[in-house]
Structure formats: structure tokens, C-alpha cells
Amino acid sequence: MTRINNFFEAFGAGVIMTWRAFAMLPAAPRILKRIAEQGFLIGYTSMPIIAILCFFIGSVLAIQAGISLREFGAKEFIGALVGASMARELGPVMVAIILAGRVGSAVTAELASMRVNSEIDALTTMNIPPERLLVLPRLLAVILVMPVLTMMANLVGWFGGAIVCEYVDFIGLSANEFFRNLQAYMKFSDVTDGLIKAEIFGIVVMIISCNTGLRTRGGPREIGLAVTKAVVLSLIAILTLDYFITKLLA
Amino acid sequence: MASPRKSCIQREDRSPASVNVDGLSKTYGQQEVLRDVSFKVEPGEIFVIMGPSGSGKSVLLRHIAGLEVPTRGALDINGLSPTEPETRNQFALALVFQSGALLNSLSVYNNLSLYPHEHQLCSKKEIHDRVMRALQILSIEHAAKKMPAELSGGMRKRVAIARALVMEPQLMLYDEPTSELDPIMAATIAEIIATLREEYAVTSIVVSHDRDLSLTIADRVALMQNGQIHSIAPPAEYRQATDPLITEFLNPQINLQNPRFKTLEATS
């Protein structure tokens, strides 16, 4: 019972925190520098790991597709399969998972240590809402960078698939044919649906990370627990939401 | 009382705040940390709360700062609830935390300029002047560009006091302002607390173990014991007190023949 109560308490606190943060949107022009800083931390520094992971995800997809499709003599459809899988599913999900593990954990640790060290209390006594100073810049930054990261993930994944098709002998499909097929069968909505997913995942991961951090009480042990909790909750939220958004967009 | 200095921070009412605590109790789970605490702090007064560790002083201060909600009883600042942001805004309530509570991601300068900058109270030039003056008062102008992680405990405390000075508070709360400071800096802090009343017309509530600070600058001293107020009196009365609890707290004797911890071991 206590666990259920705690869950709903945390959920309610997250809703209130998000409401308060977005209610401070008129202050956004004053926090442009903070948004840019967070954009750099969330976006730019995540690019290398996203590029490496998505390159190999695209490559593996192409190999697996090649193995299955050659049985049916349909290897020319590898481009469409890799293209749609990356854009609709793997691009947004992988970016969100990396965001949760790499950025979300850091955000939770930072805000939790600020809470434990009374920095949040100091802001409260100065009448500076933590939602404006700490939450809003991160939410706006994640909204801005998620489409960029997801597009980059898609492009790198497609490129990985094309390289595999070109150089793996048993597939025997040129990169040009791969991209021709990708272009022919993919719809613009495949990409936009993926970007919508990525935006929702990004916002949810950031809300969970900020809320878990700000609600932390105790000491160093609780900071560690809060980080684990935020990452696990984010991963559950990403995969659960993925199902419902996919169904909604289908 | 001298009139407050000319400032870019505009407030309707610049008179020092009064604090009224009435039957305040606080319980965490099964533990009652504060029990029926009542007192009134007059405008412009320096009110020191002393007491042994764990007697509830800091929790009481957090209630006055509006960071905690009492389980029972009431607390107001000039008749207004301290948990309301409007109250904190009206009186620019400043709390100097025991740890300093500086924002570790900001430089010392940015920590000090945060309040006027975030509330858009002054121009950049005015903010700069105010920050540098506060740093000069605390003799830490050389630390302006440093990050909090580069500072010693004592320096962090001085920066925290400087941050509070920049706010021009009408109610200033100090949690152990002289802990971790050398005797000269502790004396400087005591002088600053006393001078602030003259310069900014501020009411000060100080939680401290420092007997010298308490009995030198306080108008009245409250002694807390087990979450309750044991006594409230001017410092002169404490110096002449015969109550064993007060004399033991103010003048503890180091007894090497019969150490206290051995007595405690025997009774437990």
C-alpha cells in the first residue's frame, strides 16, 4: 500500500512540477543561456555515443534483413525495412534510452545532490522557483534537441545499413540500390511519427529525472538510489509509451 | 535606528519584520522534535537561540524560513505565513545555512548576483556594485571568480552571508554562522550581524552554539532543551543565572577525573 501511495505521490509531484515549469514559459527569453548550456550537455555531448550505437544497429538490421529476405529473393527491400525500422522505432527508442542512461541519470544526480546539500532550500528562501531555474531550461533544451538527435540517429543507422549491403558479400546489394529502395517505400510520416515519439520520450525522461532528483531526501546513499530509480522508471516509461504511441499513430 | 541605505531594491515596506511563534510543535513519524514552542521576536531585535545539539534549533529556524510546515501551532511574520512566497518576497527573508548551501554550479559572483538577477531588481552595474560591496564586507573579494568547490568551509560560510547581504533582507536567519570559522572571523561575523541592524534595519534570528557570540550581540537569548524553550532572557540574566542547566551549558567544566561519557555509559 505504501508503495502505491508513494507512486501516486511522485506522479502528482511530477505533474505539479511540470505544470509549474511550463507556467513559467514567459520567462524563457531570460533563460536562453541556460537553455543553450543544457542543449549542449543533452545534445552535443550525446552525439558520439548515439552515432556509434545507431551505426551498428543499422548494420545489424541490414545483416538480419539480408539473411531473412534472401530466402524469399526479396533482398532489394532491405532499404525499406532498415529505413522504416530506424525511423519509426529504433531511432527514437535508442535516442531515448541513451538520454535516460546518460543525461537523465546525470540530471537526477545533480538535482538530488542539490536537494541534499540544501541548495534547493536556499533557492526557495530566495523565492527563486527551482522549476524556473532548473527544470524549465532542461525541458526546453530536450524539446529542441530530441528531433535533431533522432534525425542524426536515423541517418547514421541508414548509412550503417547501406555500408553493410555494399560490403557484405552474401547480401550483394549496392548502397545506391539500398537508398533507392529506402526512398521508394518510405513515407514522410514514417519520419515524422518517429520524431513525435522522440519528443514525447524526451519530455517524459526529463520529467522523471528532474522530479526524482528534486524529491530526494537523505544523503549520498539516497542520491545513488534516486539515480537508479530515475533510469529504471524512464526505461519502463519509454517502452510502455512506445506501445501506446505506436498504436495511436498506426 | 539609522535609515536604510539607498538601494536599487525597491520595497513598499522597509521596516524590520516581527516573528510570532505560538504553540509550535513538529513531529517526524513518532519523534516529536519541537514541543509547544512559543515566543515573539520584536522588529529589529537580535534574537539568539542556543541549545545542545539535537534540541531542535535548526528545525525551528527552518519553520521560520517557511521550509517546514508545523504539525501543530502557528507561526507568522508580521501576521503573514512564511510558507507563502509573497511573504518571503515582501520581507526578503534570508537564511544563512550552516553548510552555506551555495549553488555549486555557479561561481561565487553568480551565487551572489542570483537574487537580484532572477528577480530583475537592479541593473547589471548596480548588481555588480552590490555584489562587490558584500564581498568586501566579508573580505572575500578575491574569491569572486572561484567556484564553491574551491572554497574552504569557512569561506563558504562567508560567501553565504555575503549572498544574504545582497538581498537586503528585513528578516535574516542564521544557522550556526560562526561554526568552522577562526575566532577572528567569528568576531567579524558577530560584528556584521550587529551592524546589519543599523545599516539595513533588519531583524535577526541566530541559531548558535557560540556562547561569546550569543551573549555579546543578542538582545534576548532563548535556550532550547529537548525541543522546548527552557528560558528566554537578556544575556545579562544568563550570565548571572544559577539554573544548573544554564550554567552547565554556558560554562561546561572539563572533568578529567570523572568524564561525562563514563557517567552516560553507567546509566545506559
Query: What's the confidence (pLDDT) of residue A240?
Result: 96
pLDDT at A14: 94
Model pLDDT, residue B6 = 57
For position B46, which CATH number holds?
3.40.50.300
Q: CA of B158, closest CA in chain A: separation in Å? A: 15
Does a structural domain hold residue B111? no
Instruction: Tell me, yes or no, whether B144 lies in a domain.
Output: no
Chain B residues near residue A118 by CB distance under 8 angstroms: 97, 99, 101
Render pLDDT for B93-144 as a digit per residue (tens, 0 to 9): 899 998 889 999 999 999 999 999 988 888 889 999 999 999 998 889 999 9
Facing A122 at nearest CB: one of B85, B97, B119: B97
If one counts the domains in chain A, the total is: 1
Note the pLDDT of residue A237. 96
Of A39, A147, A59, A49, which is closest to residue A98 (Cα–Cα)?
A: A49
* B49: pLDDT strictly greater than 60: yes
Let me know if residue B160 belongs to a domain: no
Q: What is the pLDDT of residue B185?
A: 82
Place of cell 532489394: A76
> How confident is residue B92, by pLDDT bands cut at 50, 70 and 90?
confident
Q: B251: distance to nearest CA of chain A, Å?
A: 32
Residue A151 counted as domain residue: yes
Give every strand in the sheet of B171-175, ordered side by side: B94-96, B171-175, B203-207, B46-50, B220-225, B228-233
| Chain B residues whose beta carbon lies within 8 Å of the beta carbon of residue A113 | 104
Question: pLDDT-derived band of residue B234, with 50, 70 and 90 as boundaries?
Answer: very high
| ipTM of predicted assembly, 2 dp | 0.86
Q: What is the pLDDT of residue A7?
A: 87
Contacts of A119 in chain B (CB under 8 A): 101-104
pLDDT at A209: 97
- Across the interface, whether the CB atoms of A110 and B88 are under 8 A apart is answered no
On whether residue A3 sits in a domain, the answer given is no
- Is pLDDT at B3 greater than 50 in this prediction? no
B247: containing domain: 19-93+169-267
Residue B13 binned pLDDT confidence (cut-offs 50, 70, 90)? low
Which among A110, A117, A132 is the nearest to B101, CB-wise? Answer: A117
pLDDT digits (tens, 9 = 90+) for A103-161: 999 999 999 999 999 999 999 999 999 999 999 999 999 999 999 999 999 999 999 99
Q: How confident is the model at residue B2 (pLDDT cuts 50, 70, 90)?
A: very low
Q: A116: distance to nearest CA of chain B, Å? A: 10
Q: For residue B120, what are the CA distances in angstroms to A32, A176, B48, B113, B117?
A: 15, 58, 33, 10, 5
Does residue A131 sit within a domain? Answer: yes
pLDDT score recorded for residue B213:
85
Residue A70 has pLDDT above 90, yes or no: no
Model confidence pLDDT, tens digit, residues A34-58: 999 999 999 999 999 999 999 999 9
Vertex B29, ends B23 and B33: CA angle to 5°? 40
Q: Which amino acid is located at B104 in the chain?
A: N
B233, containing H or E segment: strand B228-233
Interface test with A, best of B59, B98, B118 (most A CBs within 10 A): B118
Cross-chain residue pair B104–A133, CB shorter than 8 Å: no
In a domain, B197, yes or no: yes
Report how many domains make up chain B. 1
Residue B154 lies in a domain: no
- Report the candidate in B239, B183, B177, B237 with the shortest Cα–Cα distance to residue B209: B177
In a domain, A241, yes or no: yes
Has residue B245 got a pLDDT over 80? yes
In a domain, B142, yes or no: no
In a domain, B118, yes or no: no
Mean pLDDT value across chain B: 87
Q: Chain B: residue nearest A116 by CA?
A: B101
pLDDT digits (tens, 9 = 90+) for A193-239: 999 999 999 999 999 999 999 999 988 899 999 999 999 999 999 99
Whole-angstrom distance, CA of residue B141 vs CA of residue B40: 37
- Interface A-B: count of C-beta contacts within 8 A: 52
Show the domain range for A60.
32-249
The one-character DSSP state at B147 is: -
B228 falls in which pLDDT band (50, 70, 90)? very high
* Band of residue A2 on the pLDDT scale cut at 50, 70, 90: confident
